[in-house]
Amino acid sequence: MKTKIAGILLAVTGLAAAATASGAGAAAGRTITVQGTGIATSVPNEAQFSFGVSVTTPSAKGALSESSRRMNALIAAMKGQGVPAADIQTSQISLTPNTNQTGTKIVSFSASETLTVTTKAIAKAGSIVDAAVTAGANTVDGPNLGPSSQQALRGRALAAAVADARTRALAIAKASHVRLGAVVTVTENSSSPIPFQESAKAAAAPAATPVEPGTVQTEEDVTVTFAIG
C-alpha cells in the first residue's frame, strides 16, 4: 500500500514539475508583434523623359529612313544640351503596315522610335524638352522625377519604420504592464512607389517649358516582433 501511494506522489510531483517548466517556457517566449511605417522625403534631383518620333510614308524603307533621320537629330540635340551619352538610351523602334478599311491592302507604313533621356540638371529639364521638340520629337512623356540616391532614401525610410514600430511596442508594453525586450524578428513588408507631393509640370509653351521638382516621398513598412518580460 505504501509503495502505491509513493508511486502516486512521484507521478503528481513529476506533473507539477512539467507544468512549472511549461509555464516558464511560455513566459520566456512571450512577444509583442507590431507594424511600423517610415517615410523619407526629398527634393528630386533627377528627371527622366521619353521622346518619340513617328512618321508615315508609302514605303517601309522610307518610313524607317525618315524616322532614323529625325532620331539622329534628336540625339544630337540632347547631346547639345549637355546630356551625357550614358544617359541617352534608345528604348523602342517599331515599323508597322497600315491597311485600308477592309484590311485587304497595305496603303502605307508607320515607323516610330523612342529615346529615354535622363538628366540630373532639373533646372535644364524644360530646355531639354524644348530642344527635343525643335529637333523633331512629336511625342513627349514625362517627367519621371525622383532622387538619384533612391537606395539611401529607402534606408532612411526603413530606419524610421523600425523606430516607429518600437514606439508602438513601448506603448503597448506600458499599457500591458510588461517590459519590452530585444527584437526577435523584423520583416520588411513593402516598398511603395514614389508619390508626388506637388504636381510636376511640363507643358509646351512659347516660353521655356516649366518643370517644377516639388518633393517626393518613399514609404517603407515593417513588421517587428519584440520579446517581453
What pLDDT sits at residue 123? 87
All three cell numbers of 60? 517601309
**At 207, is the pLDDT very low, low, confident or very high (cuts 50, 70, 90)?**
low
pTM of the predicted protein model = 0.60
By mean pLDDT, which of 97-101, 147-151, 153-157 is the weakest? 147-151
Query: How many angstroms separate the CA atoms of 86 and 154, rounded?
Result: 25
By mean pLDDT, which of 74-88, 144-158, 172-186 is the weakest? 144-158
Residue % of the chain over a pLDDT of 90: 61
Answer for the pair 143, 128: CB distance below 8 angstroms, yes or no. Answer: no
CATH number of 46-146: 3.30.70.2970
Superfamily name with CATH number, domain 28-43+150-228: Protein of unknown function (DUF541), domain 1 (3.30.110.170)
**At 28, is the pLDDT very low, low, confident or very high (cuts 50, 70, 90)?**
low
Question: Could you give the count of Cα atoms lying within 13 Å of 93 in the half-sphere of its Cβ?
Answer: 10
Burial class (CB within 10 angstroms; exposed 0-12, middle 13-18, buried 19+) of 6: exposed
By mean pLDDT, which of 82-86, 154-158, 178-182 is the weakest? 154-158
Say yes or no to pLDDT of 146 above 50. yes
Over residues 107-127, the mean pLDDT reads 94
Query: How many angstroms separate the CA atoms of 147 and 179, rounded?
Result: 40
All three cell numbers of 84? 551625357
Q: How many CB atoms lie within 10 A of CB 201?
A: 12
Query: How many angstroms separate the CA atoms of 13 and 18, rounded?
Result: 9
Domain range summary for the chain, segments of one domain joined by +: 28-43+150-228, 46-146
Over residues 149-167, the mean pLDDT reads 89
Q: Using one digit for the tens of pLDDT, what is the confidence trace for 45-56?
A: 889 999 999 999
DSSP sequence for 134-159: HHT--EEEEEEEE-S-HHHHHHHHHH
Say yes or no to pLDDT of 111 above 90. yes
Closest alpha carbon to 56 in 75, 70, 73: 70
Say yes or no to pLDDT of 217 above 60. yes
**At 195, is the pLDDT very low, low, confident or very high (cuts 50, 70, 90)?**
very low
All three cell numbers of 187? 520583416
Instruction: Give, in order, the Cα–Cα distances in Å from 79 to each of 12, 99, 108, 144, 229.
Output: 88, 37, 33, 20, 64
Say yes or no to pLDDT of 25 above 70. no
Burial class (CB within 10 angstroms; exposed 0-12, middle 13-18, buried 19+) of 186: middle
Instruction: Give me the sign of the Cα torsion angle 135, 141, 146, 147.
Output: negative
Query: How many angstroms separate the CA atoms of 35 and 40, rounded?
Result: 17
Residue % of the chain over a pLDDT of 70: 79
The chain-wide mean pLDDT, for the chain, equals: 82
All three cell numbers of 147? 532622387
Name the pairing type of β-strands 46-57 and 139-146. Answer: antiparallel
